[in-house]
Structure 1
Amino acid sequence: MPPARSNAFEVLFQHPWRTIMVADTRQTLEKLLHSFSTAMLVTRSVDGTLRSRPMAIARVDQTDDVWFVTDIESGKVDEIDSDPVVNVALQNGSQYVSLSGTAAIIQDRMLLEEMWQEAWRVWFPKGKDDPNISLLRVRTIEGEYWDNSGQQGLKYLFEAGKAYLTGTRPAIDEDVHQKVDLR
Structure 2
Amino acid sequence: MSSPEHKQKIWKMIKDIKVGMLVTLDHDTPRARPMHLVQDEYDGTLWFFTRRSAEKVLETQSDHDVCLSFSDQDDGVYVSLSGKANVIDNRELIEKYWNPFVAAWFPEGKDDPDVALLEVKVEMGEHWKAKESKAFQLYEIAKANLKKDATPNLGENEKFGG
Question: When the two structures are superposed, what TM-score results if normalisation uses the length of structure 1?
Answer: 0.76
Report the Cα distance in structure 2 between the residues aligned to 1:80 and 1:180, rounded to whole angstroms.
Answer: 23
- Equivalent pairs counted in the alignment come to 158
Q: Provide Cα deviations, 1:84-127, integer angstroms capped at 9, x if missing partner.
A: 00000111112110001000000001110011011112210012
**What percentage of aligned pairs have identical amino acids?**
33
Q: Where is the strand percentage greater, Structure 1 or Structure 2?
A: 2
Q: Deviations over 1:30-50 (max 9, x none)?
A: 3212232101000011x2111
Q: Does 1:33 align with 2:14?
A: yes
- SS of the residue aligned with 1:105? strand
Instruction: Write the distance in 1 (CA, Å) between the matches of 2:100 and 2:145.
Output: 49
* Matched AA of 1:88: L
In 2, Cα distance between equivalents of 1:52 and 1:92: 17
Whole-angstrom CA distance in 2 between matches of 1:105 and 1:25: 26
Q: Does 1:162 align with 2:143?
A: yes
- Aligned-residue offset at 1:159: 2.4
Which of 8, 23, 34 matches 1:42? 23
Pairwise CA distance, 1:153:
5.3
Runs of 4+ in 1 over 6 A off after TM superposition: none
Query: What aligned pairs does 1:51-66 form with structure 2 within 5 A after superposition?
Result: 51-59=31-39, 61-66=41-46
Which residue of the partner structure matches residue 5 of structure 1?
Answer: none
1:70 counterpart = 2:50: yes
Q: CA RMSD in A?
A: 2.4
Partner of 1:144: 126
Which of the pair has more CA radius of gyration?
1
Q: Which has the higher helix share?
A: 1
Q: Contact (CA 8 Å) 2:51, 2:115: kept in 1 or not?
A: yes
Residue in structure 2 matched with residue 6 of structure 1 by the alignment: none
1:103-182 matched pairs, under 5 angstroms: 103-148=85-130, 150-151=131-132, 156-172=137-153, 175-181=155-161
Residue in 2 aligned with 1:98?
Answer: 80
Give the letter aligned to residue 113 of structure 1: E
- Considering Cα pairs closer than 8 Å and 6+ residues apart, tell me whether 1 or 2 has the greater RCO: 2
Residues 143 and 152, structure 2, Cα contact 8 Å, conserved in 1: no
Q: Is the 8 A contact 2:24 2:30 kept in 1?
A: yes
Aligned equivalents of 1:60 and 1:141: distance in 2? 20
Alpha-carbon distance between aligned partners in 1 of 2:143 and 2:4, rounded to the nearest angstrom = 31
Structure 1 gaps of 5+ residues are 1-21
* 1:60 positional shift: 6.0
